Structure 1
């Protein structure tokens, strides 16, 4: 009996690319409790309005919403919006802290996915906030690119 190949589950924070200039990315593990991994496999995760803070030399992802499974026992359900610790090496945390202390630079999650070893990983980005005119320019470039590709598609 052949095993079914599981689909590639990747959850992106689309708002992050709209609101920030991504300077650098880093892969980190994440500490989960109970049935949270099963809930992530069931696509019950939301990265919108999620941010990352460094608290006492430890990195936490805050405001990430993982909805409970209906099959999970009620007494073992962790809080849906609890802060979850990220697993990084000390040197990586120190580098991130040095970058974040600069003016206007922040840490945001861009992706949540399962790696090749079936472990839940989160992609952390060092980002700088966009101004309103930058957002408008990006939107203008996106629509121009979309119109050009559609015009090429219609001509052939």
Structure 2
């Protein structure tokens, strides 16, 4: 998948399923600690964050289970582990707020987008999320379908 341009950002990976699976409350922009081969692989637009999540471990916030494939242009000794944990860079107050919400309210930290900002730095858009039940998912789908039908009717009428 090639990277897409949006608001001066080059989106490398999106988690489109997150909006279907969770109620998203707040979003943050976090930096990532990456190796050189990971950045080169991201610039090729090859990554997947749909099965990943963020969690508090070992004194920091980590992105877990994100897939960034090995960079084929590098030698075999300079490669990285494709599904390794990656440290997220946020301010201490933001990390504290996120961990309290996860511990006390049972929320989840879900990655939404992995992108390069206009300066060329890799960033991750995170959201604090509450899981949806099956009936909530059906209700959301009904609302979306009704809005689509309403827009279609208004377009035809007017």
Q: Is TM-score (shorter-chain normalized) higher than 0.5?
A: yes
Aligned residues: 151
Aligned: 1:48 with 2:77: no
Aligned: 1:117 with 2:106: no
CA distance in 2, matches of 1:120, 1:12: 14
CA distance in 1, matches of 2:74, 2:110: 29
CA distance in 1, matches of 2:70, 2:145: 38
> Does the C-alpha gap of structure 1 residues 151 and 38 become closer, same or farther in structure 2, counting only changes over 3 Å?
farther
Q: Which runs of 5+ in 2 are unaligned?
A: none
Structure 1 length-normalised TM: 0.88
Shift of 1:151: 4.0
The secondary structure found in structure 2 opposite 1:46 is: coil
Equivalent residue, structure 2, for 1:73 = 75
Equivalent residue, structure 2, for 1:9 = 10
> Does the C-alpha gap of structure 1 residues 148 and 56 become closer, same or farther in structure 2, counting only changes over 3 Å?
same
> Does the C-alpha gap of structure 1 residues 152 and 72 become closer, same or farther in structure 2, counting only changes over 3 Å?
farther
Aligned CA-pair RMSD: 1.8
Shift of 1:70: 2.1
> Does the C-alpha gap of structure 1 residues 54 and 146 become closer, same or farther in structure 2, counting only changes over 3 Å?
same
Shift of 1:150: 3.5
Does the 8 Å CA contact 2:10/2:117 hold for their aligned counterparts? no
CA distance in 2, matches of 1:9, 1:154: 36
Aligned: 1:132 with 2:130: no
Equivalent residue, structure 1, for 2:100 = 98
Q: Deviation per CA, 1:85-127, whole angstroms, max 9, x where unpaired?
A: 0011222211111111123311111111111221100011111
CA distance in 1, matches of 2:93, 2:146: 42
Shift of 1:146: 2.3
Does the 8 Å CA contact 1:34/1:78 hold for their aligned counterparts? no
